Structure 1
């Protein structure tokens, strides 16, 4: 699952450069993933390529777009427009996903309310329950301090959010119908230091 977005990005770049087909070795060299792993990954989804021919770029790009992103557009809100939230708002998400729109941000800082960051308006957190249904938002990126994370997750669930990308260092307690993906930067850094030391 973690490799699928890498494959999608690779095929997207290949299409931009006008490439019609690629081999598993070319993909391997570009992504530093073993060719056998690539063939095994692709075979999991059926016959995506032909021996001696390789993989058709447009076909694979369409395939991965459907399997990673689905056919519907996702409206996303960033909860917490501080340093990390603002950085994410300034990030070009279209490089990752053509079907993802960051349509709103929420914060309590009075000085930010009503402003726009990279064309996305910042609303007051008190208006969250009103704005989320109005904008058809079903995904939230949570960039709040740890102590505010759980209460906000409960509010997001009640407002209709179906998926949360959680940058807070706590594990959120939500219903089974809500998918939470946790990104703890301190844990990721510790893992990096461990690999640097031991491999």
Structure 2
């Protein structure tokens, strides 16, 4: 039977902020900080204190009004929620410039999360080993992912071929996908997919940058 904490609905926006809170509080705990208030967390994370308090409220009584939060306790709670110690092996599809950069970096900040295999349509790339990561032909995807028991994947395939890439991943048992192609694809309801849209993010930054500029005064 699931506990109340496990059954509690957590908004996606809150879930996305949990790693930010965890990293911030873990760093504080490592430096000996014992207690902190939401306003102080806000200053460190640039997340409004009201949002922090609302996010934390989804996980029970983590703190007390006027007192703040016991850092070690909140770190322990978020450590369990995020399952930080779980080993996560990740498959990568598309060994172009972005794919190669991801393999070269390979989550250096997290020892429990690694790209362990990659797939490429270009047969000239298959059979190679890049920064310790073997590159396979896409034809080998299902057998390799089944053998390695991998359920998380990153796709860097361009938009025009993204749906085909995602279909192959889903057919191979992948249930969580990070897609670097901005175009939306169709996946079953049992598959969680997130998008990295670099162009869209830059355009958003440019838009808000313009909003922050002083108005142009025209000469009469």
- Fold match (TM-score > 0.5): yes
Unaligned runs of 5+ in 2: 1-13, 213-220
- Normalized against structure 2, the TM-score is what? 0.80
Provide closer, same or farther for how the CA distance between residues 81 and 19 of structure 1 changes in structure 2, counting only shifts above 3 A: farther
Q: How many residues align structurally?
A: 198
Map of 1:65 onto structure 2: 79
Max Rg structure: 2
Match of 1:87 among 101, 108, 117: 101
Greater length-normalized contact order (CA 8 Å, ≥ 6 residues apart): 1
**CA drift at 1:117:** 3.2
Tell me, what secondary structure is at the counterpart of 2:72? Answer: helix
Aligned: 1:39 with 2:39: no
Residues 138 and 162 in structure 1, CA contact (< 8 A), matched pair in contact too: yes
* Contact 2:42/2:52, CA 8 A, preserved across alignment: yes
Residue in structure 1 matched with residue 218 of structure 2 by the alignment: none
Q: Deviation digits for residues 78-135 of structure 1, max 9, x if unmatched? A: 111211111112225253x554332111113445333333332222222111111111
C-alpha offsets along residues 156-195 of structure 1, whole Å, 9 cap, x if unaligned? 1111000111111221111111111112111111111111
- CA separation in 1, counterparts of 2:92 and 2:24? 27
Q: Distance in 2 between matches of 1:75 and 1:86?
A: 17
Q: Distance in 1 between the 2:77 and 2:135 partners?
A: 35
**Contact 2:106 / 2:115 at 8 angstroms: preserved in 1?**
no
The aligned residue for residue 206 of structure 2 is: 193
2:179 corresponds to: 166
TM-score, normalisation: structure 1: 0.88
RMSD: 2.2
Deviation at 1:69, TM superposition (A): 4.1
Q: Which runs of 5+ in 1 are unaligned?
A: none
